[in-house]
Amino acid sequence: MWCRPPLTFEWEYVVFKLTKNQGLKALAAAGLTLAVLAPAHAGKTLDAIKQRGQVVCGVNTGLAGFSAADSSGNWSGLDVDVCKAVAAATLGDATKVKYVPLNAQQRFTALQSGEIDMLSRNTTFTLTRDGSLGLHQTVVTYYDGQGFMVPVKSKIKSAKQLKGQTVCVQSGTTTEKNLTDFSRANNLGIKPVVFEKVEAATGAYFSGRCVAYTTDASGLASVRNKEAKNPADHIILPELISKEPLGPMVRRGDDEWFAIVKWTVYGLLEAEEYGVTQANVDQLKTSATDPVVQRLLGTTEDTGKLLGLDKEWMVRAIKATGNYGEIFERNVGPKSALGLPRGVNNQWNKGGLMYAYPIR
């Protein structure tokens, strides 16, 4: 639906002339032309990125499947792939990313201060964070929920059996607050054992200082796979006690950059929905007949100009990382080391919550 552009002195004069001499029909037509044809101006963040030649992306210090570096310093994971896709869309090269590892306490300050261009670090979207930090939440890239991990030998089968027990948790997270709420709501008297760094929290759990460890369910799977001497000795309890929609964040005040990050994620989702993959994207550029695919790949319409980019912005993103489904399967899916089911992170037409806004 068309919305009238903000009035300026010049625009008000045009409105007056058109209304007086040519009627409202001509005004609507003129307004529609102006709204559709006007290309976006590059925002200050994109300008800085182009001058620097890198996207500076804040990531987790080490969460397998989402953002972790190997012994050679090469980063991988679902959150990392989002950074790569944005770099490919904006700079034409997915390797032009500087990764800044951040703990939970550092992450928002780093983004607020301009140390990083975007935060792609398993961060939950909440009203408080959206309304009070001067940051924009973009698009959910992983729907999660908080759970509990316990040793098999504890014989605990449900989170309701944690009454009066010690639970290791990281401070400065929604996890800590959710644990308190869950304990109070169920009159469990859980005793939180709080640590600033996640490594300290998980280390305390595996050493037996706490009966349970709590974080997002995806994080529990990652920690169990990476840090447990024998992963089979630990189980993740079935209950989820919260909603944890995770996704990248950017600073407020640069709507152009906000739009680029947001629409890159939507493009990856739409690519999966319409069968555009890392392997076939080049072929589809010339052979696709579906209007949606043609728009996505810039063969019939130049959507990039509306974002201050060129028409092949999404082609480069898809070639760099694959579509959203490929990113999920490679990093956290059933055949990955984490072995997580697609579940609610499936496409909307396959029973999940992933629903891309249309690229048009």
In whole angstroms, give the CA distance from residue 79 to residue 120.
5
Question: Taking the complete model, does pTM exceed 0.75, yes or no?
Answer: yes
Q: What is the pLDDT of residues 252-305, one digit of tens each?
A: 999 999 999 999 999 999 999 999 999 999 999 999 999 999 999 999 999 999
Rounded CA separation 53/256 (Å)? 18
Question: Which whole-number Å values give the CA distances from 79 to 59, 61, 166, 310, 312, in the listed order?
Answer: 7, 12, 31, 24, 22
Residues in contact with 192: Cβ distance below 8 Å, sequence separation at least 6, in sequence order: 166, 167, 169, 176, 179, 180
Structure tokens given for 324: 């959203």
Given a cut of 50, is residue 6 above it in pLDDT?
Answer: no
Q: Could you tell me how many residues make up the chain?
A: 360
C-alpha 108/C-alpha 224 separation (Å) is: 27
CATH classification code of 146-242: 3.40.190.10
Report whether pLDDT(224) > 50: yes
For residues 20 and 50, what is the distance between their CA atoms, to the nearest angstrom? Answer: 46
Per-residue pLDDT for 120 more than 50?
Answer: yes
Q: What residues does CATH 3.40.190.10 cover in the chain?
A: 44-143+246-341, 146-242
Give mean pLDDT, residues 23-50.
62
pLDDT at position 24 is 42
**So what's the pLDDT on residue 20?**
42
Is residue 11's pLDDT more than 60?
no
- Residue 12 in this model has a pLDDT that exceeds 60: no
Residue 327: predicted pLDDT? 98
SS3 for 108-174 is HHHHHCCCCCEECCCCECCHHHHHHCCEEECCCCEEECEEEEEEHHHCCCCHHHCCCCEEEEECCCH
> What are 309-322's pLDDT values in tens digits?
999 999 999 999 99
Q: Enter the tokens of residue 294.
A: 């043609």
For 256, other C-beta atoms within 10 Å of its C-beta total 17
CA neighbor of 132 nearest in space, from 259, 260, 249, 248: 249
Residue 26 has pLDDT above 90, yes or no: no
Beta carbons of 85 and 57 less than 8 angstroms apart: no
Amino acid 10: pLDDT: 39
DSSP string, 38-49: PPPPPPHHHHHH
DSSP strand pairing (146-151 vs 212-216): antiparallel
Given this model, what pLDDT does residue 35 score? 43
**What pLDDT was estimated at residue 143?**
98
- For residue 4, pLDDT over 60 is answered with no
- pLDDT, one tens digit per residue, over 97-117 is 999 999 999 999 999 999 999
pLDDT surpasses 50 at 33: no
**Residue 23, pLDDT above cutoff 60:** no
User: What pLDDT does 39 receive?
Assistant: 59
In the CATH scheme, what is the homologous superfamily, with its name and number, of domain 44-143+246-341? Answer: Periplasmic binding protein-like II (3.40.190.10)
| Kind and range of the H or E run holding 26 | helix 23-37
